[in-house]
Amino acid sequence: MAILVQCPLCGVRLKAPEQYGGRRVKCPGCKGVVQIPPPEAIGANDSPGNSGLYCPPKAPGSEAVEVDSTLPWSQKEPHPQASPASGGEESFSESFPDRTSGLRPPPLPNASPPALPASSALAGLPIWGWILVASALSGLIGGLVVYASLKLSAGPSSRTLTAQADKAKPPSASSGYPKQAGGSGDHGASGSEGQPRPGQPTAPRTPAKSVRDILDAVVKIEMPTEPGKMSIGAGFLIDPRGWVATNYHVIREASSATRVRLFDGT
Protein backbone atom coordinates (compact mmCIF):
# COMPACT_ATOMS: atom_id res chain seq x y z
CA MET A 1 0.00 0.00 0.00
CA ALA A 2 1.42 3.37 -1.04
CA ILE A 3 1.52 6.30 1.34
CA LEU A 4 0.14 9.56 -0.08
CA VAL A 5 2.07 12.64 1.07
CA GLN A 6 1.62 16.33 0.23
CA CYS A 7 4.61 18.74 0.48
CA PRO A 8 3.68 21.60 2.83
CA LEU A 9 6.00 23.99 0.95
CA CYS A 10 4.97 23.67 -2.68
CA GLY A 11 1.79 21.47 -2.41
CA VAL A 12 3.08 18.66 -4.60
CA ARG A 13 1.49 15.28 -3.85
CA LEU A 14 3.53 12.15 -4.15
CA LYS A 15 3.20 8.48 -3.32
CA ALA A 16 5.83 6.61 -1.36
CA PRO A 17 6.05 2.88 -0.67
CA GLU A 18 5.32 1.63 2.82
CA GLN A 19 8.97 0.83 3.53
CA TYR A 20 9.64 4.62 3.48
CA GLY A 21 7.25 5.22 6.35
CA GLY A 22 8.79 7.37 9.08
CA ARG A 23 11.70 8.41 6.84
CA ARG A 24 12.57 11.68 5.16
CA VAL A 25 12.58 12.07 1.41
CA LYS A 26 13.35 14.95 -0.94
CA CYS A 27 10.45 16.69 -2.68
CA PRO A 28 10.80 16.62 -6.49
CA GLY A 29 9.16 20.06 -6.80
CA CYS A 30 10.95 22.32 -4.32
CA LYS A 31 13.79 19.95 -3.40
CA GLY A 32 12.79 20.28 0.25
CA VAL A 33 12.82 17.47 2.79
CA VAL A 34 9.41 15.88 3.47
CA GLN A 35 8.70 13.62 6.45
CA ILE A 36 6.88 10.40 5.36
CA PRO A 37 4.39 9.46 8.09
CA PRO A 38 4.34 5.88 9.34
CA PRO A 39 1.56 3.57 8.06
CA GLU A 40 -0.29 3.56 11.41
CA ALA A 41 -0.63 7.35 11.26
CA ILE A 42 -2.33 7.04 7.89
CA GLY A 43 -5.02 4.76 9.37
CA ALA A 44 -5.83 7.27 12.11
CA ASN A 45 -6.26 10.18 9.68
CA ASP A 46 -6.82 9.34 6.03
CA SER A 47 -6.73 12.98 4.91
CA PRO A 48 -3.14 13.91 4.03
CA GLY A 49 -4.06 17.58 4.20
CA ASN A 50 -5.10 17.31 7.85
CA SER A 51 -2.25 15.12 9.01
CA GLY A 52 -0.24 18.14 10.10
CA LEU A 53 2.83 17.18 8.10
CA TYR A 54 5.57 19.76 7.87
CA CYS A 55 8.86 20.13 6.04
CA PRO A 56 11.65 20.49 8.60
CA PRO A 57 15.09 21.72 7.53
CA LYS A 58 17.53 19.09 6.55
CA ALA A 59 19.53 18.03 9.57
CA PRO A 60 23.14 16.96 9.14
CA GLY A 61 23.53 13.21 9.10
CA SER A 62 19.84 12.55 8.40
CA GLU A 63 19.02 10.02 5.76
CA ALA A 64 17.18 11.49 2.78
CA VAL A 65 15.80 9.39 -0.02
CA GLU A 66 15.37 10.81 -3.50
CA VAL A 67 11.79 10.18 -4.46
CA ASP A 68 12.62 10.54 -8.15
CA SER A 69 14.86 7.49 -7.94
CA THR A 70 12.37 5.30 -6.05
CA LEU A 71 9.00 6.18 -7.49
CA PRO A 72 8.10 5.71 -11.14
CA TRP A 73 6.81 8.67 -13.07
CA SER A 74 3.41 7.04 -13.38
CA GLN A 75 2.89 7.31 -9.61
CA LYS A 76 3.67 11.03 -9.48
CA GLU A 77 0.81 13.43 -9.65
CA PRO A 78 1.15 16.45 -11.88
CA HIS A 79 1.89 19.57 -9.97
CA PRO A 80 1.62 23.15 -11.09
CA GLN A 81 4.76 24.87 -12.14
CA ALA A 82 6.05 27.60 -9.95
CA SER A 83 4.66 30.87 -11.19
CA PRO A 84 7.20 33.56 -12.00
CA ALA A 85 7.60 36.44 -9.64
CA SER A 86 5.06 39.20 -9.95
CA GLY A 87 5.91 42.50 -11.52
CA GLY A 88 6.11 44.21 -8.15
CA GLU A 89 8.64 41.71 -6.83
CA GLU A 90 12.24 42.02 -7.96
CA SER A 91 15.17 39.85 -7.22
CA PHE A 92 17.93 40.99 -4.95
CA SER A 93 20.37 41.28 -7.84
CA GLU A 94 17.91 43.34 -9.92
CA SER A 95 17.12 45.76 -7.09
CA PHE A 96 20.81 46.56 -6.71
CA PRO A 97 22.23 46.95 -10.20
CA ASP A 98 25.94 46.91 -10.75
CA ARG A 99 26.91 50.55 -10.50
CA THR A 100 30.56 49.87 -11.28
CA SER A 101 29.90 48.61 -14.81
CA GLY A 102 29.97 52.08 -16.39
CA LEU A 103 32.86 53.41 -14.36
CA ARG A 104 36.32 53.69 -15.82
CA PRO A 105 39.23 52.04 -14.05
CA PRO A 106 41.25 54.45 -11.91
CA PRO A 107 44.19 55.97 -13.79
CA LEU A 108 47.61 54.64 -13.05
CA PRO A 109 49.89 56.94 -11.06
CA ASN A 110 52.17 59.00 -13.22
CA ALA A 111 55.65 57.60 -13.42
CA SER A 112 58.35 59.81 -11.97
CA PRO A 113 60.49 61.54 -14.62
CA PRO A 114 63.85 59.88 -15.25
CA ALA A 115 66.82 61.34 -13.44
CA LEU A 116 68.90 63.71 -15.51
CA PRO A 117 72.36 62.39 -16.38
CA ALA A 118 75.39 64.04 -14.84
CA SER A 119 76.50 65.40 -18.24
CA SER A 120 73.32 67.51 -18.53
CA ALA A 121 74.46 69.59 -15.55
CA LEU A 122 76.92 71.34 -17.85
CA ALA A 123 74.01 72.66 -19.91
CA GLY A 124 73.07 75.03 -17.11
CA LEU A 125 76.54 76.61 -16.98
CA PRO A 126 76.30 80.40 -17.47
CA ILE A 127 77.98 82.18 -20.36
CA TRP A 128 80.74 83.66 -18.24
CA GLY A 129 81.59 80.16 -17.03
CA TRP A 130 82.04 78.95 -20.60
CA ILE A 131 84.21 81.99 -21.32
CA LEU A 132 86.46 81.19 -18.37
CA VAL A 133 86.77 77.56 -19.41
CA ALA A 134 87.61 78.51 -23.00
CA SER A 135 90.19 81.08 -21.85
CA ALA A 136 91.88 78.57 -19.57
CA LEU A 137 92.05 75.95 -22.30
CA SER A 138 93.37 78.40 -24.90
CA GLY A 139 96.03 79.70 -22.47
CA LEU A 140 97.15 76.18 -21.65
CA ILE A 141 97.39 75.19 -25.30
CA GLY A 142 99.24 78.40 -26.20
CA GLY A 143 101.75 77.90 -23.38
CA LEU A 144 102.45 74.35 -24.50
CA VAL A 145 102.97 75.48 -28.10
CA VAL A 146 105.39 78.26 -27.09
CA TYR A 147 107.33 75.96 -24.80
CA ALA A 148 107.65 73.31 -27.50
CA SER A 149 108.77 75.85 -30.11
CA LEU A 150 111.37 77.33 -27.76
CA LYS A 151 112.70 73.92 -26.85
CA LEU A 152 112.95 72.77 -30.46
CA SER A 153 114.35 75.99 -32.00
CA ALA A 154 116.64 77.14 -29.19
CA GLY A 155 118.35 73.79 -28.77
CA PRO A 156 120.50 73.69 -31.96
CA SER A 157 121.44 77.37 -31.83
CA SER A 158 122.47 77.26 -28.17
CA ARG A 159 124.55 74.16 -28.72
CA THR A 160 126.26 75.79 -31.69
CA LEU A 161 127.05 78.96 -29.72
CA THR A 162 128.38 76.92 -26.80
CA ALA A 163 130.59 74.86 -29.08
CA GLN A 164 132.05 77.99 -30.66
CA ALA A 165 132.72 79.50 -27.24
CA ASP A 166 134.43 76.32 -26.07
CA LYS A 167 136.71 76.32 -29.09
CA ALA A 168 137.75 79.95 -28.48
CA LYS A 169 138.70 79.24 -24.83
CA PRO A 170 142.02 77.57 -23.92
CA PRO A 171 141.82 73.93 -22.89
CA SER A 172 142.51 74.71 -19.24
CA ALA A 173 139.74 77.29 -19.09
CA SER A 174 137.18 75.15 -20.90
CA SER A 175 137.73 72.15 -18.68
CA GLY A 176 137.70 74.10 -15.42
CA TYR A 177 140.64 72.12 -13.95
CA PRO A 178 144.37 73.13 -13.79
CA LYS A 179 146.49 71.54 -16.43
CA GLN A 180 148.77 68.81 -15.12
CA ALA A 181 152.05 67.76 -16.62
CA GLY A 182 151.96 64.35 -18.21
CA GLY A 183 154.77 62.14 -16.91
CA SER A 184 153.39 58.69 -17.62
CA GLY A 185 151.55 57.20 -20.52
CA ASP A 186 148.51 56.40 -18.38
CA HIS A 187 147.27 59.97 -18.72
CA GLY A 188 146.60 59.55 -22.41
CA ALA A 189 147.97 61.15 -25.55
CA SER A 190 146.84 64.65 -24.55
CA GLY A 191 149.21 64.68 -21.53
CA SER A 192 146.42 65.95 -19.21
CA GLU A 193 144.37 63.70 -16.94
CA GLY A 194 140.64 63.99 -17.54
CA GLN A 195 140.98 65.50 -21.03
CA PRO A 196 139.23 63.49 -23.79
CA ARG A 197 141.33 62.14 -26.62
CA PRO A 198 140.90 63.54 -30.11
CA GLY A 199 137.85 61.98 -31.70
CA GLN A 200 136.50 60.73 -28.38
CA PRO A 201 132.83 61.80 -27.79
CA THR A 202 132.32 64.46 -25.17
CA ALA A 203 130.44 63.84 -21.92
CA PRO A 204 126.66 64.33 -22.01
CA ARG A 205 125.34 67.75 -21.07
CA THR A 206 123.86 68.24 -17.64
CA PRO A 207 120.44 69.91 -17.13
CA ALA A 208 122.10 72.95 -15.54
CA LYS A 209 124.23 73.52 -18.63
CA SER A 210 121.20 73.15 -20.93
CA VAL A 211 119.33 75.81 -18.94
CA ARG A 212 122.36 78.08 -19.17
CA ASP A 213 122.46 77.58 -22.93
CA ILE A 214 118.79 78.57 -23.19
CA LEU A 215 119.35 81.70 -21.13
CA ASP A 216 122.31 82.67 -23.31
CA ALA A 217 120.07 82.43 -26.41
CA VAL A 218 117.40 84.82 -25.07
CA VAL A 219 117.75 88.42 -26.37
CA LYS A 220 116.13 91.75 -25.51
CA ILE A 221 114.84 94.00 -28.31
CA GLU A 222 114.74 97.79 -27.69
CA MET A 223 112.99 100.13 -30.15
CA PRO A 224 112.73 103.90 -29.51
CA THR A 225 109.27 105.07 -30.60
CA GLU A 226 108.95 108.66 -29.37
CA PRO A 227 111.30 111.06 -27.64
CA GLY A 228 111.79 109.66 -24.17
CA LYS A 229 109.84 106.45 -24.85
CA MET A 230 110.99 102.98 -25.89
CA SER A 231 109.23 99.77 -26.88
CA ILE A 232 110.75 96.60 -25.45
CA GLY A 233 110.31 93.04 -26.71
CA ALA A 234 111.97 89.65 -26.45
CA GLY A 235 113.22 86.95 -28.80
CA PHE A 236 115.84 84.21 -29.05
CA LEU A 237 118.77 83.37 -31.31
CA ILE A 238 118.12 80.70 -33.92
CA ASP A 239 121.28 80.92 -36.04
CA PRO A 240 125.01 81.39 -35.44
CA ARG A 241 124.91 84.37 -37.80
CA GLY A 242 122.74 86.27 -35.31
CA TRP A 243 119.21 85.69 -36.62
CA VAL A 244 116.58 86.40 -33.98
CA ALA A 245 113.07 84.88 -33.81
CA THR A 246 110.34 87.03 -32.29
CA ASN A 247 106.69 88.01 -32.77
CA TYR A 248 105.66 90.33 -35.56
CA HIS A 249 103.98 92.88 -33.30
CA VAL A 250 107.31 93.34 -31.50
CA ILE A 251 109.18 94.57 -34.60
CA ARG A 252 106.24 96.03 -36.49
CA GLU A 253 107.49 99.56 -35.79
CA ALA A 254 111.20 98.69 -35.87
CA SER A 255 113.66 101.19 -37.33
CA SER A 256 117.39 101.58 -37.76
CA ALA A 257 117.59 102.65 -34.10
CA THR A 258 116.48 99.21 -32.92
CA ARG A 259 119.00 97.46 -30.70
CA VAL A 260 119.28 93.80 -29.63
CA ARG A 261 120.95 92.94 -26.33
CA LEU A 262 122.01 89.50 -25.07
CA PHE A 263 121.02 88.01 -21.76
CA ASP A 264 124.12 89.36 -20.03
CA GLY A 265 123.33 92.91 -21.22
CA THR A 266 125.90 93.16 -24.04
Residues 236 and 154 in one domain: yes
Distances (CA, A) of 35 to 7, 21, 241: 9, 9, 143
Residue 57, in any domain of the structure: yes
| Residue-level pLDDT at 101 | 52
Domain boundary among 75, 94, 126: 75
Domain that holds residue 152: 147-166+205-266
Residue 209, in any domain of the structure: yes
Burial of 42 (0-12, 13-18, 19+ CB in 10 A): buried
| Residue-level pLDDT at 21 | 77
Per-residue pLDDT tens for 154-190? 655 556 656 565 665 555 444 444 444 444 444 444 4
| Residue-level pLDDT at 123 | 62
| Residue-level pLDDT at 117 | 57
Domain boundary among 75, 108, 131: 75
Residue 8, in any domain of the structure: yes
* Distance separating alpha carbons of residues 91 and 93, to the nearest angstrom: 5
Give the residues across from 234 on adjacent strands: 220
| Residue-level pLDDT at 74 | 41
| Residue-level pLDDT at 141 | 92
| Residue-level pLDDT at 249 | 81
> Per the structure, how many domains does the chain have?
2
Per-residue pLDDT tens for 181-223? 444 444 444 444 455 565 566 655 555 567 777 777 888 888 8
Residue 225, in any domain of the structure: yes
Task: Write the single-letter amino acid at 208.
Answer: A
What angle do helix axes 207-217 and 127-168 make, rounded to 10 degrees? Answer: 100
Q: For the chain, where are the E strands, in sequence order? A: 3-6, 13-16, 24-26, 33-35, 64-66, 218-224, 230-237, 244-245, 259-261
The domain that holds 157 is classified in CATH as 2.40.10.10
Low-confidence ranges of the chain (pLDDT < 50): 47-97, 172-193
